[in-house]
Amino acid sequence: MYKFTISGSPHVKSDESTKKIMYGVVFAMIPAMLVSIYFFGFQAIRVLVLASIACIFFEWIIQKYLIKGPSTINDGSALVTGILLAFNVPSNLPSWMIIVGALVAIGMAKMSFGGLGRNIFNPALVARVFLLISFPVQMTSWPKPTGFSKGLTDVITGPTPLGIVKEGLGAGKTMSELRTETPSYVQYLVGQTGGSIGEVSAIALLLGGFYMLWKKIITWHIPVSMLGTVIIFTAILWGANPEHYADPAFHLLTGGMLLGAIFMATDMVSSPMTHGGQLVYGFGIGVLTILIRVWGAYPEGVSFAILIMNAVVPLINQGFKPKRFGIKPGIEIKS
Amino acid sequence: MGILKTFALGGVHPKENKLSANAAIEVLDPPKQAFIPLGQNLGAPSKPVVARGEEVKTGQLLAEASGFISTPIHSPVSGKVFKIDNILNASGYKQLGIIINVEGDEWMEDIDRSEDIVTNIDYSSEEIIDKIKKAGLVGMGGATFPTYVKLMPPPGTKAEYLIINGVECEPYLTSDHRMMLEKGREIVVGTQLLMKALKVDKAIIGIENNKPDAISHLTELVKNAEGISVQALKVQYPQGGEKQLIKATVNREVPSGKLPISVGCVVQNVGTAFAVYEAVQKNKPLFERVVTVTGKDVKKPSNFLVRIGTPVQQLIDAAEGLPESTAKIINGGPMMGKAISSTEVPIVKGSSGILIMKEEEAHRKTESACIRCSKCTYVCPMGLEPFLLSRVSRVGKFDIAEKEMIMDCIECGSCQYTCPANIPLLDYLRLGKNKTGAIIRSRGKTA
Amino acid sequence: MESIILIAVAALGGVGFVAAVILFFVAKKFKVYEDPVIDIVEEALPAANCGGCGFPGCRAFAEATVNSAKENKNIDGLNCPVGGNDVMQEVGKILGLEVEASAPLIAVVRCNGTPTNHPAKVKFEGATSCTFAHALHGGEGGCQYSCLGLGECVEACDFDAIHMNPETGLPVVNNKCTACNACVIACPRDIIELRKKGPKDRRIFVSCVNAEKGAPAKKNCQTACIGCSKCEKVCKFDAITITSFLAYIDFDNCTLCRKCVEECPTNAIWEVNFKPRKPKVDRPASVVEKGAEKVVSKEKPIPLEISVDKDQPKKENKENNNKENKE
């Protein structure tokens, strides 16, 4: 006699899995990783490896001794957080700060909420903002991209293009003067500019973005709405006074804009669940980013904007329901 | 061919695995003992009209309808009524049924057993509906809703379209596909009969694009039939759901909580159309149907024409036995079918297939944490939020579940199929629907 | 400097005053009169808000009793199962009414489908919800009346009074039970029933709800009630009735004589918290002496309800903790 299994339908399952999604994201980050290693050399490898290992280690130890649950390090989410954290810091950040960052990301922003899927904020961004506020000097001295040519110790640091523009405008310079001090658009696209190790190369990030779109890990809604908002908003400002405001392409290509739009804002856990909500979420991030960049105290606003919008996500989820079948919008059906 | 039509929201595309698509329909001998459960339709079970020890012929009335939504049952075999007792049916529960010891195969005299296809329709609309009602027809797609009820639109509504469901979006199953290939002409006549019964002049046969032979065959056949067209559809599960099929073919949305007739559509399965043909033109009540027996390890995946009441075991034997690796037997397709606990379960009017799953694919994967990827929301054909509904059902907040329209769930299983965290979403949705439905009903009583 | 302080004080004071005036009038205007007796009655209630009385909470129950006392001069039909007799007497005293004493009740699980008695023929996989499993299939062992063992009754209990026994896969009620009816409602198969607690916690009940005929019932489960009506015949007090092949003992008529327990051929009738029987009945030899061919051992099922009282909750708690951690 056979012992059959009884379970509810469906009896088949797609080959989707959390692991597959997470390693898909890791795969999509490979181009950006390679570019960062090319430009920042051994330092980039150090940051990447250290951040990943630290995140996985903290996840394992917290899961084992504090939460006392089954190990979750195999699902790849800690690795994603680790790489994203590395992407968000300068290549010359001291090792102990990276470890502190990893602890904040995994311990404070992720596991204290109950682990994967329950965190409100993007763990890597929480860690980045924590580090930025705690160690502003180290977090804002950006090594110039030199690759492997220089040694491990001798690096030239300088501000990011956004920093130059912010400071310059504050000092009364005009945009046309400042554009001569900042790298060209081609350099932005390739990644030959100062900044956090993952954010420099627009092309590598876009490559990863297209891969994730193709694999249906992300949908187009958040990046398009966020970047679209930034372009429109900055175009209005730029049209009003080109000498005082940077042009849309500059905003798009500098800082963590693309990294944020493609890898950070689209984080499944901390973004809204419906397409309508995602459009609103992207719009909110775009507006907040430019507000902070143009009028705020920091030259860079993507991480703050994403974190603020993360906090609004539960509200967005309440307000933006998917289009229901058989319900005409605006018409209440009496039950 | 241009862009193929499909429904608007959600949907998934599971591996088709139509292993038995090329297996012609085989006629299976009647069983030695037939088990005929009395509840074979959605609604009230039928009332037996035969007694123990009585001789019955094939096609003779065994049980009559007992209410508006109920159908009569006819004997699928000839022989002697052994007893009327509880028998295990596909739901896993014992239910009152008639057990007949088969002797020979003597049919009722008024059944036309010739192979000729009768194309002339000389019945009025009422006569057709009456014949369908008396023949005990139910929806053959699996929902087993009495056919005649659908053919009588409630006052104030009028049917405009008849939609014949040849989608067969469930993976593995091929019974409808084979029917369309082998019984195409009968299906077209059946469609014409249904059109006449409904007094509509437009009928659409919807077929998914993975059955090009069926599409071309039926397109050829409907050339001379006025008002009937064949619509090729993009392969997308659950296109065979009534609401989805209406959206895909005539682009109308059935409002929440309403029936398809509210947008002027009536959907019938191709199997039902064939049964209508037989009932009206050949006087043959519904007592046999085509059942697919399939599975990755099944030696001979086949399509059988079997009598109602045949134990599943006999079908499996005809498909060269139950494989060693069997871990689950499903009555129906893999997306919506029901796992059965024993091979003694009989085939009923709504059984479309027997799917045998092996050990490796039969078990659920371990559940992990929801990563809020919202894939369940993207694939839900009803535009619901399965992650939310299953969570509130799990913790018993059925008021929220009701507000978030849990009752609109069609239980297609797309959400659970796609969930990367292997969460049993549909299990909890069913729980929520069950409890919410009870709350709504009790409110209806008190109000 | 001083003027700033003064302005601040004046401004804050002014705001406070205006708000106070508004609040005063609002409170007057929207004041709802409530009978102070309701508060007193509510005080007397256990404040468990379990809903066992049929009202959404203790407050609602208090309101209902006060209204009923006012309108009907009695509070018949209203009963707080948690507080039991004492509380209802107390409430009666507050309202100046006589309240009939009612016997204390306890939840009783009427299934003995342990893995040995009712071996599994299929394996269930899926959500741990009895309601869902009930809708899906008849039960792992084939008895469609059996306990599904997924613990919806345990979740429903607010009083930590019902736990799953991991060995038998059946729920066990302990003495914390307040007869609030929550588990009875939660069970999709109506296995749990509220019965009289009985003198010294002694009670006799049929531990089966299988309404099938004898043979199919016995096929799936060794201890199923087969409806043989032996107990009905032996009972002198008309306490046992048999409907659709299932015996039921009416606890109002039952005198706890235990004759039916001895008579039952499948050990489906349970006695709980009785002293061990005199050896005459228990000795297997006596069965043989009677000349009957039944080799059924007269070993009675262990009265789980007392034996587990002390240890079980702890064990279960530990288990629950583990479960939570896993989640």
Select the residue of C126, C132, C139 nearest B364 (Cβ to Cβ): C126
Both C252 and C169 in a single domain?
yes
Give the pLDDT score at C289. 38
The pLDDT tens digits for C238-290 are 899 998 889 999 988 888 888 899 889 988 998 888 888 765 444 444 333 33
Q: What is the overall mean pLDDT for chain B?
A: 89
Which H/E stretch holds residue B82? strand B79-88
Give the pLDDT score at B276. 93
Chain-chain contact of B427 with C132 (C-beta, under 8 angstroms): yes
Give the pLDDT score at A40. 85
**Does the pLDDT value for residue B238 go beyond 50?**
yes
Give the pLDDT score at A305. 94
The pLDDT tens digits for B243-291 are 999 999 998 889 888 888 989 999 999 999 999 999 999 999 999 999 9
Domain B125-281: CATH architecture, name and number where available: 3-Layer(aba) Sandwich (3.40)
Q: Which CATH number fits domain B28-103+287-360: 3.30.70.20, 3.40.190.10, 3.10.20.600, 2.40.50.140?
A: 3.10.20.600
Other beta carbons less than 10 A from residue C5's beta carbon: 9
Q: Which subunits sit against A, judged by 3+ Cβ pairs under 8 A?
A: B, C
Burial of B258 (0-12, 13-18, 19+ CB in 10 A): middle
Give the pLDDT score at B35. 92
The pLDDT tens digits for A93-112 are 899 999 999 999 999 999 99
Extents of the domains making up chain B: 28-103+287-360, 125-281, 375-446
Residue of C nearest to A69 (CA): C326
- The CATH number of the domain where C52 resides is what? 1.10.15
Give a three-class secondary structure readout of chain A.
Answer: CCCEEEECCCCCCCCCCHHHHHHHHHHHHHHHHHHHHHHHCHHHHHHHHHHHHHHHHHHHHHHHHHHCCCCCHHHCHHHHHHHHHHHCCCCCCCHHHHHHHHHHHHHHHHHHHCCCCCCCCCHHHHHHHHHHHHCHHHHCCEECCCCCCCCCCCCCEECCHHHHHHHHHHCCCCHHHHHHHCCCHHHHHHCCCCCCCCCCCHHHHHHHHHHHHHCCCCCCHHHHHHHHHHHHHHHHHHHHCCCCCCCHHHHHHCCCHHHHHHHHCCCCCCCCCCHHHHHHHHHHHHHHHHHHHHHCCCCCCHHHHHHHHHHHHHHHHHHCCCCCCCCCCCCCCCC
Closest C-alpha among B291, B313, B417, B293 to residue A8: B417
Q: In this complex, is the C-beta atom of B418 within 8 Å of any C-beta atom belonging to chain A?
A: yes
Give the pLDDT score at C318. 41
Identify the weakest region by mean pLDDT among A316-330, B51-65, B402-416: A316-330
Give the pLDDT score at C283. 41
Residues B294 and B351: beta-carbon distance below 8 Å: no
Is residue C18 included in any domain, yes or no? no
Q: How many CB pairs under 8 A join A and C?
A: 32
Give the pLDDT score at A296. 86
Give the pLDDT score at B354. 93
DSSP class of residue C299 equals P
- Higher pLDDT: A162 or B330? It is B330
Give the pLDDT score at A34. 92
Q: Residue C324: which pLDDT band, with cuts at 50, 70 and 90?
A: very low
Chain-chain contact of A3 with C136 (C-beta, under 8 angstroms): no
Select the residue of C122, C325, C326 nearest A5 (Cβ to Cβ): C122
Which residue segment(s) compose the domain that C75 sits in? Answer: 36-95
Closest C-alpha among B353, B412, B339, B314 to residue B172: B353
Both C147 and C230 in a single domain?
yes
Q: Which subunits sit against C, judged by 3+ Cβ pairs under 8 A?
A: A, B
C201: amino acid identity, one letter: D
Which ipTM score applies to this complex?
A: 0.86
Distance CA B81, CA C316 (A): 53
Select the residue of A12, A270, A322 nearest B417 (Cβ to Cβ): A12
Give the pLDDT score at A60. 92
Distance CA A140, CA A194 (A): 10
- Higher pLDDT: C113 or C100? It is C113
Identify the weakest region by mean pLDDT among B376-380, C45-49, C259-263: C45-49
The pLDDT tens digits for A41-71 are 888 899 999 999 999 999 999 998 888 888 8
| End residue of a domain, out of C95, C116, C136 | C95
Structure tokens at B414: 């797309």
Distance CA B428, CA A61 (A): 32
Distance from CA of C220 to the nearest CA of A (A): 15
Report the sign of the C-alpha dihedral through residues B244, B249, B253, B255, in that order: negative
The pLDDT tens digits for A81-92 are 999 999 999 888
- Higher pLDDT: A202 or A2? It is A202
Structure tokens at A166: 């912010």
Give the pLDDT score at A149. 55
Across chain C, how many H-helices and E-strands are there?
14, 9
Both C63 and C161 in a single domain?
no
Give the pLDDT score at B406. 92
Select the residue of B88, B339, B427 nearest C127 (Cβ to Cβ): B427
Distance from CA of A298 to the nearest CA of B (A): 31
Give the pLDDT score at B396. 86
What value does the CA radius of gyration of chain A take, rounded to a whole number of Å? 21
Select the residue of A3, A67, A69 nearest C122 (Cβ to Cβ): A3
Is residue C283 included in any domain, yes or no? yes
Q: In this complex, is the C-beta atom of C232 within 8 Å of any C-beta atom belonging to chain A?
A: no
**Does the pLDDT value for residue A162 go beyond 90?**
no
Residues B383 and B351: beta-carbon distance below 8 Å: no
Report the sign of the C-alpha dihedral through residues C18, C24, C29, C34, in that order: positive
Both C121 and C172 in a single domain?
yes
Both C203 and C296 in a single domain?
yes
The pLDDT tens digits for C206-229 are 999 998 888 888 888 889 999 888
Structure tokens at A15: 């080959």
Q: In this complex, is the C-beta atom of C324 within 8 Å of any C-beta atom belonging to chain A?
A: no
The pLDDT tens digits for A197-206 are 888 888 999 9
Chain-chain contact of C121 with A6 (C-beta, under 8 angstroms): no
The pLDDT tens digits for A237-287 are 999 988 888 888 888 888 889 999 999 999 999 999 999 999 999 999 999
Residues 147-166 of A with CB under 8 A from C: none
Distance from CA of B370 to the nearest CA of A (A): 5
**Does the pLDDT value for residue A188 go beyond 90?**
no
Distance from CA of A182 to the nearest CA of C (A): 51
Q: In this complex, is the C-beta atom of B95 within 8 Å of any C-beta atom belonging to chain C?
A: no
Give the pLDDT score at C285. 41
List helix spans (H) across chain C.
2-29, 36-44, 58-72, 84-95, 130-136, 152-156, 182-186, 214-220, 230-234, 259-263, 279-282, 284-289, 304-307, 312-326
| End residue of a domain, out of C95, C116, C146 | C95
Give the pLDDT score at C315. 39
Give the pLDDT score at C279. 56
Is residue C310 included in any domain, yes or no? yes
| End residue of a domain, out of C95, C126, C141 | C95
Distance CA A30, CA A27 (A): 5
Q: Which subunits sit against B, judged by 3+ Cβ pairs under 8 A?
A: A, C
Give the pLDDT score at A2. 57
Q: In this complex, is the C-beta atom of A67 within 8 Å of any C-beta atom belonging to chain C?
A: yes
Q: Please, what is the Cα angle at B367 between B363 and B372, to 5 degrees?
A: 135
Is residue C279 included in any domain, yes or no? yes
Residues A244 and A282: beta-carbon distance below 8 Å: no
Residue of A nearest to B260 (CA): A326
Among A1, A3, A6, A13, most B C-beta atoms within 10 A, so best to mutate, is A13
Is residue C20 included in any domain, yes or no? no
Q: What is the overall mean pLDDT for chain A?
A: 87
**Does the pLDDT value for residue A148 go beyond 70?**
no
Distance CA A260, CA A287 (A): 14
Is residue C285 included in any domain, yes or no? yes
Rounded percentage of chain C residues whose pLDDT exceeds 90: 21
Identify the weakest region by mean pLDDT among B18-27, B100-109, B141-150, C295-304: C295-304
Give the pLDDT score at C310. 39
Rounded percentage of chain C residues whose pLDDT exceeds 70: 84
Mean pLDDT of C180-195: 90
Both C154 and C225 in a single domain?
yes
Chain-chain contact of C132 with B428 (C-beta, under 8 angstroms): yes
Mean pLDDT of B201-213: 92
Is residue C147 included in any domain, yes or no? yes
Q: In chain C, how many domains are there?
A: 2
Select the residue of C131, C132, C137 nearest B341 (Cβ to Cβ): C137
Both C214 and C249 in a single domain?
yes
The pLDDT tens digits for A210-232 are 999 999 899 999 999 999 999 99
Coil, strand or helix: which one is C79?
coil
Place of tokens 């997924």: C150
Mean pLDDT of C169-185: 88
Q: Residue C297: which pLDDT band, with cuts at 50, 70 and 90?
A: very low
Report chain A residues whose CB lies below 8 A from the CB of C140.
6
A320: amino acid identity, one letter: F
Both C81 and C227 in a single domain?
no
**Does the pLDDT value for residue B79 go beyond 70?**
yes
Maximum CA extent, chain C? 111
Residues A36 and A44: beta-carbon distance below 8 Å: yes
Is residue C260 included in any domain, yes or no? yes
Chain-chain contact of A274 with B341 (C-beta, under 8 angstroms): no
Structure tokens at C68: 């009923």
Distance from CA of A62 to the nearest CA of C (A): 13
